[in-house]
Copies of this chain bind each other. A is one copy, B any other.
Amino acid sequence: MITAGKGAMPLYIQIRELLIAKISKGDWLPGDSIPSEMNLSQELGVSQGTVRKAITELVEYNVLRRKQGRGTFVSNHDSQRALFHFFHIVDAKGHRVMPDSKVLRCHRRHASHGEALKLKLKDRADIIRIERVRNLSSSPTMIETITLPGHLFKDWDELDSGNLPNMLYELYEKQFGITIHSAEEQLRAVAATKHDASLLNLQAGTPLLEIERVALTLNKSPVELRISRCNTKKHHYENTIL
């Protein structure tokens, strides 16, 4: 509950955490509006300014979105947001390119030691592994290997695995109630294997940019491991440091 007084956490932080809990629990779903600042402040017995400060921080974290005159909404993963926020590969001119995807394989497996570690699962836990090739500017440019914890995606097998959507984060949210909120990426240069080379129409040994991403929910629990190998002849990874 909200407590005031010396030594207590600031009110706006308590309220911020309370709002996060509501969203994590699913009381308010992505796309929903939350109660107005006035309503919240009356329910919680604090001033509007204090509620406002809590909400402001969550807007900065991209958890909430304000719309003047309409209300405050839980963020959702439209393709726009996925493309702008999580997809960092652009063409030589710096333009974002919408990738398309062809699924090569999609099956259940046991997690390797490395996968279990990165997804915080037990060794040999049930996982789903997807392999796909992505075209950028209509030429095959990336190979992705995606690993999902099986227990979070129970009804996965009912999907048409040959016809998965391009932007998986939207699927995770709409079909499984899992919202990806942040991610940690590691980038390396690697040599293309024969397998890579045949899929991307280049020679084995060609340098590829490898992006290893762990995607996290709002509570920082890992939900997806994604390894992308990317031909950077005509595209590159863009990062802005503010």
Contacts and interface: CB of A to CB of B under 8 A. Distances in A.
Interface residues of A, number: 31
Contacts of A159: none
A240 B185 contact: yes
Interface in A151-192: 182-191
B232 A184 contact: no
Identical chains bound together, number: 2
Nearest to A232: B188
A62 B242 contact: yes
A61 to B, nearest CB: 7
Given A242-B61, A242-B182, A237 B187 contact: yes
19 contacts: A182-B240, A182-B242, A184-B239, A185-B238, A185-B240, A186-B236, A187-B187, A187-B237, A187-B239, A188-B232, A189-B190, A189-B207, A189-B208, A189-B210, A189-B232, A191-B207, A205-B205, A207-B208, A209-B209
Interface of A: 60-62, 85-86, 88, 182-191, 205-210, 230, 232, 236-242
